Chain A
Amino acid sequence: MEKSEAKTVLVVDDEPDIVFFLRAVLEDHGFQVMTAFNGQEATDKMRQQPPDLISLDLIMPGKSGIRFFHELRKNKEWSKIPVLFVSGHVRETIDGSNLVEILKDRTLSGPATYLEKPVNAQTYIRTINTILGLEQKTEEQAEEGSPELQDQVESLLSNAPPETLERILQMLKENKKGG
Chain B
Amino acid sequence: MTENAIQPSVPSSGLLEPCQRLQKWLCENLFASLPMSVAVIDRERRIVKANFIFEQKFGPFSGRHCFEAYKHHSNPCEKCGVMEIFQDGKTCHSYERGIDRSEAPVDYLMHMTPIPGENQDAEIQYVLQTAMDITPWAQQEQEYRLFYEHAPCTIAVLDRDYRIVRGNRRLSALFGNHLGRHCYEAFKNLPEKCSVCPAERTFQDGGIYHAVQTGETQEGNVTNYIVTSAPLLQSENRVEQVVELSIDITQERILETEVGKLRAIQESLIENSNRGILAIDQTGKIMILNAALEKLLQRRKEEIHSLADLEPHLPPFLRQIIEEGVETCLLPGGPPIWAQDGEEIPVRFTNICLKMGQETLGYASFFEDLREIKQLEKEKLEAERLAAVGQTVAGIAHGVKNIIMGLEGGLYVVKSASKKQDSKLGEEGWRMLENNIMKISALIKDFLNFSKGREPRPRWVHPAQIARDVIALYEEAARKEGITLVADLSEGIETAPMDPQEMHSCLANLVSNAIDACRMSDPPGGRIAVSLREKGGSILYEVLDNGCGMDYEVKKKVFTTFFSTKGMGGTGLGLLTTRKIVQEHGGKIEFESMAGQGTRFTMVFPRNRLPKPAEPT
Contact = CB atoms under 8 A, between A and B. Distances in A.
To the question of whether A and B form a pair in one complex, the answer is yes
B247 interface: no
From DSSP, what is the main secondary structure of chain B's interface residues?
A: helix
Pick the most buried of B425, B436, B561, B567: most chain A CB atoms within 10 A of its CB: B567
B409 A20 contact: yes
Interface in B407-435: 407-413, 415-416, 425-428, 430, 432-435
B552 interface: yes
Contacts of B488: none
Interface stretch (A70-78, A102-110, A131-139, A150-158): A150-158
A28 B419 CA distance: 11
Nearest to A65: B553
A64 B565 CA distance: 11
Contacts of B563: 59
The size bracket of the interface on A is 35 or more
Contact of B411 (A92, A145, A158): A145
Contacts of B430: 172, 175-176, 179
B480 interface: no
Pick the most buried of A14, A18, A20, A121: most chain B CB atoms within 10 A of its CB: A20
The size bracket of the interface on B is 35 or more
A179 B426 contact: yes
A15 B406 contact: yes
B408 A95 contact: no
Nearest to A66: B553
Contacts of B403: 157
Interface in A138-179: 145, 150, 153-154, 157-158, 160-162, 165-166, 168-169, 172-173, 175-176, 179
Contacts of A66: 553
B402 interface: yes
A120 B568 CA distance: 20
Contact of A16 (B400, B444, B567): B567
Interface string A13-39: 011111011101100100000000000
A94 interface: yes
A117 interface: yes
Given A64-B551, A88-B402, A24 B434 contact: no
Interface in A1-56: 14-18, 20-22, 24-25, 28
A121 B408 contact: yes
A60 B398 CA distance: 15
Contact of A165 (B404, B440, B567): B440
Contacts of A160: 440, 444
B548 A61 contact: yes
B554 A61 contact: yes
Contacts of B427: 176
Contact of A145 (B405, B415, B566): B415
Nearest to B407: A153
A160 B443 CA distance: 12
Contacts of B397: 158
Given A61-B565, A95-B552, A157 B411 contact: no
Given A59-B553, A61-B520, A175-B430, A17 B565 contact: no
A118 B408 contact: yes
A17 B404 contact: no
Nearest to B398: A88
B412 A169 contact: no
B407 A162 contact: no
B353 to A, nearest CB: 55
Nearest to B441: A165
Interface in B550-583: 551-554, 556-557, 561, 563, 565-568
A119 interface: yes
A145 B435 CA distance: 20
A141 to B, nearest CB: 14
B85 interface: no
Given A15-B402, A59-B553, A24 B409 contact: yes
Contacts of A179: 426, 430
Given A117-B402, A172-B434, A157 B440 contact: yes
B445 to A, nearest CB: 5
A20 B405 contact: no
B535 interface: no
Contact of A119 (B405, B411, B436, B445): B405
B437 interface: yes
Pick the most buried of A17, A66, A176: most chain B CB atoms within 10 A of its CB: A17
Nearest to A122: B412
B438 interface: yes
B356 interface: no
B401 interface: yes
Contacts of B401: 88, 116-118
Contact of A17 (B409, B552, B553): B409
Contact of A64 (B399, B404, B553): B553
A88 B551 CA distance: 19
A16 B406 CA distance: 9
Contacts of B411: 145, 153
The 10 closest A-B pairs by CB, nearest first: A21-B409, A118-B405, A88-B401, A118-B404, A117-B401, A17-B406, A176-B430, A61-B565, A165-B441, A162-B444
Given A21-B409, A95-B556, 15 more contacts: A17-B405, A22-B409, A24-B416, A59-B554, A59-B565, A89-B398, A118-B408, A120-B408, A121-B412, A153-B407, A154-B404, A165-B444, A169-B441, A172-B430, A172-B434
Interface of B: 397-413, 415-416, 425-428, 430, 432-438, 440-441, 444-445, 448, 520, 548, 551-554, 556-557, 561, 563, 565-568
30 contacts: A14-B565, A15-B405, A15-B568, A16-B568, A17-B406, A17-B409, A18-B406, A20-B409, A20-B428, A21-B405, A21-B406, A24-B413, A24-B425, A28-B416, A59-B554, A61-B554, A66-B553, A89-B398, A95-B556, A119-B408, A120-B408, A121-B408, A145-B411, A145-B415, A157-B407, A162-B444, A162-B445, A165-B437, A166-B441, A179-B430
